[in-house]
Structure 1
Amino acid sequence: MSMPLILPGKPGGILLICDHASNAVPDDIDLGIDAALLGKHIAIDIGAAPLTERLAARLNAPAILATVSRLVIDLHREPDHPALIPLASDGHAIPGNQAADRADRLRRFHDPYHDALAALIRTERPILLASIHSFTPELESGGAGERPWQAGILSNQDRRAADIAIRLLTEAGIVTGDNEPYSGRLLNATLNRHGEANDIPSVAIEIRNDLISDAAGVARWTEILAPILAEMSNILASGRPSAT
């Protein structure tokens, strides 16, 4: 059983989530891929873990970070999602997953992560769930071209946090996509389960990974996001509308 990394913080405010923090593959799992692929975006959200850790320290906010690669199992997918254990990602085959024991990987990795997150929500009573991700500037397959956004804000039906985040990022001069580079209405499993299902305002913040691929980039985006997240929490706590 693989347990997530949990960072302590002040309860009753922001809870940070990093579903794709790790590129770790357990010794008893052979994905059948070149080890170099574990350094790519298909295995890990580049820069997301150090950014989450810096934000947690800066905001004194609790955080939960995954400790297994999404090539083993994608914690940001529903248990019955067809891509939960990927057979291919961005044009790269993952042959070792062809015969994967789905129930075993759910038991070892997916269930402990989501059980721990649910327990954190019960104990920390957060006002805001903020899930930190990163996206690649351009996919290797598909010919979609360069993605122009510096940040993307993903949400599903609950727009309380998303509308505030988009406004504050735009006011800070950040090129921000609303449900870009993909839609949170389709890719929002963790926040659907732990945010919307509990009526807790939640948002996924995606940063283009070339902007947070080194320590300087992580430091810069900590300075950008920390006050924005703090203001979001204050607005949501006060009940002020997002347009104010």
Structure 2
Amino acid sequence: MNLLVPADPAPFTVINANGSSPFLLTGDHAGLAIPSALGDLGVGPADWSRHIAIDIGVRDMGLELARLLDAPFIFQNYSRLVIDCNRDPARDDAIPASSDGTDIGGNQGLTEIDRLARVTSIHAPYHSGISEMISARLAAGQETILLALHSFTPILDEMRRPWSVGVLHAAGRIDFAICLLDALRRLPIKVGDNAPYAMDETDYSMPFHALSNDLRYAEIEVRQDLISQGEGQSFWAARLRDAMEEAWQRLT
């Protein structure tokens, strides 16, 4: 069942597909589109500019980082309120009924057919796109380090989050993530090691793509107030580029 009509955006966008870099960038929550069939999901305009709907700043930071690295960047075009592409689609929170105090009316009382339409139209094509890109790179003998770009709100549940950037990792080949942490810690900023989030059973993308293919990887979280504007996005793209290249040099 296809939820999307021709006037709707494609499920995902790929930039610089043939980039020569060992890095493959992804953006699970980079988009803000809504399928026309779903209206506004019962969510007011103010909430569509919040972190509950999008990883603020990630799309444009990722575009600049892809340019600086000559890396492919594949990112989701639809809001995480439509379906969260960093969740197993079988989980209830893949299509949240509420998020950080906001009820998502259009996500309440869904049938299994409703949920399946979002999975097959958006979630599955996005992850198939990533899988195909990884398979093509591996078949060509191209080194691939999977880097998931995210951003986090400075305050959550009335608690201030002091980190400028966090690097998330869990099982598998974490050597690049550890080297990236070391490179970032040499900067005059507070760096989170599995903070403000830990990579756990809620994460889908990295276990599905990096662990299953035995890839080096890292999930990178940048605080949203630092990349909400173009100047900050360019600054952090350059800062991450330098740290990523330093980390990779230590492993080669």
The farther-off stretch of 199-208 and 32-41 is: 32-41
Name 1:77's counterpart in structure 2: 87
> What does 1:180-195 align with in structure 2 at a 5 Å threshold?
180-195=195-210
Q: Of 134, 137, 162, which residue of structure 2 is paired with 1:148?
A: 162
Instruction: Quote how far apart the aligned CAs of 1:148 are.
Output: 0.5
Name 2:115's counterpart in structure 1: 102
Instruction: Quote how far apart the aligned CAs of 1:12 are.
Output: 5.9
Answer yes or no: is 1:88 the counterpart of 2:98: yes
- Aligned equivalents of 1:187 and 1:65: distance in 2? 19
Instruction: Quote how far apart the aligned CAs of 1:156 are.
Output: 1.6
Q: In the alignment, residue 129 of structure 1 is paired with which amino acid?
A: L
Name 2:182's counterpart in structure 1: 167
Percentage of pairs with the same residue: 35
Instruction: Quote how far apart the aligned CAs of 1:187 are.
Output: 3.9
Residues 124 and 174 of structure 1: CA distance in aligned 2, closer, same or farther (over 3 Å):
farther
- Aligned equivalents of 1:188 and 1:85: distance in 2? 14
Q: In the alignment, residue 4 of structure 1 is paired with which amino acid?
A: F
- Aligned equivalents of 1:196 and 1:12: distance in 2? 20
- Aligned equivalents of 1:174 and 1:48: distance in 2? 19
Q: TM-score, length-normalised on structure 2?
A: 0.89
Residues 71 and 195 of structure 1: CA distance in aligned 2, closer, same or farther (over 3 Å):
same
Question: Is the CA contact 2:137–2:144 (under 8 Å) kept in the aligned structure 1?
Answer: no
Instruction: Quote how far apart the aligned CAs of 1:89 are.
Output: 0.4
Name 2:137's counterpart in structure 1: 124
Question: Is the CA contact 1:47–1:214 (under 8 Å) kept in the aligned structure 2?
Answer: yes
Instruction: Quote how far apart the aligned CAs of 1:138 are.
Output: 0.3
Instruction: Quote how far apart the aligned CAs of 1:229 are.
Output: 1.5
Instruction: Quote how far apart the aligned CAs of 1:11 are.
Output: 4.0
- Aligned equivalents of 1:44 and 1:70: distance in 2? 6
Name 2:126's counterpart in structure 1: 113
Unpaired segments ≥5 residues, structure 2: 5-9
Name 2:240's counterpart in structure 1: 225
Secondary structure at 2:161 match in 1: coil
- Aligned equivalents of 1:12 and 1:55: distance in 2? 11
Over aligned residues, Cα RMSD in angstroms? 1.4
Answer yes or no: is 1:23 the counterpart of 2:32: yes
1:187-221, Cα deviation, whole Å (9 max, x unpaired): 43101110011100111110000000101101111
Unpaired segments ≥5 residues, structure 1: 239-244
Secondary structure at 1:182 match in 2: coil
Matched positions, count = 234
Q: Of 8, 13, 18, which residue of structure 2 is paired with 1:5?
A: 13
- Aligned equivalents of 2:241 and 2:75: distance in 1? 18
Answer yes or no: is 1:33 the counterpart of 2:47: no
Name 1:242's counterpart in structure 2: none
Name 2:7's counterpart in structure 1: none
Question: Is the CA contact 2:68–2:238 (under 8 Å) kept in the aligned structure 1?
Answer: no
Answer yes or no: is 1:215 the counterpart of 2:217: no
- Aligned equivalents of 2:66 and 2:106: distance in 1? 35
Residues 188 and 162 of structure 1: CA distance in aligned 2, closer, same or farther (over 3 Å):
farther
The farther-off stretch of 55-64 and 1-10 is: 1-10
Question: Is the CA contact 1:154–1:188 (under 8 Å) kept in the aligned structure 2?
Answer: no
Secondary structure at 1:184 match in 2: coil
1:125-161, Cα deviation, whole Å (9 max, x unpaired): 342111110000002xx33x10010001111213222
Secondary structure at 1:83 match in 2: helix
- Aligned equivalents of 1:185 and 1:163: distance in 2? 17
Q: In the alignment, residue 195 of structure 1 is paired with which amino acid?
A: A
Secondary structure at 2:31 match in 1: coil
The farther-off stretch of 51-60 and 187-196 is: 187-196
Residues 186 and 129 of structure 1: CA distance in aligned 2, closer, same or farther (over 3 Å):
same
Q: In the alignment, residue 218 of structure 2 is paired with which amino acid?
A: V
Q: TM-score, length-normalised on structure 1?
A: 0.91
Question: Is the CA contact 2:11–2:78 (under 8 Å) kept in the aligned structure 1?
Answer: no
- Aligned equivalents of 2:207 and 2:20: distance in 1? 21
- Aligned equivalents of 2:207 and 2:68: distance in 1? 26
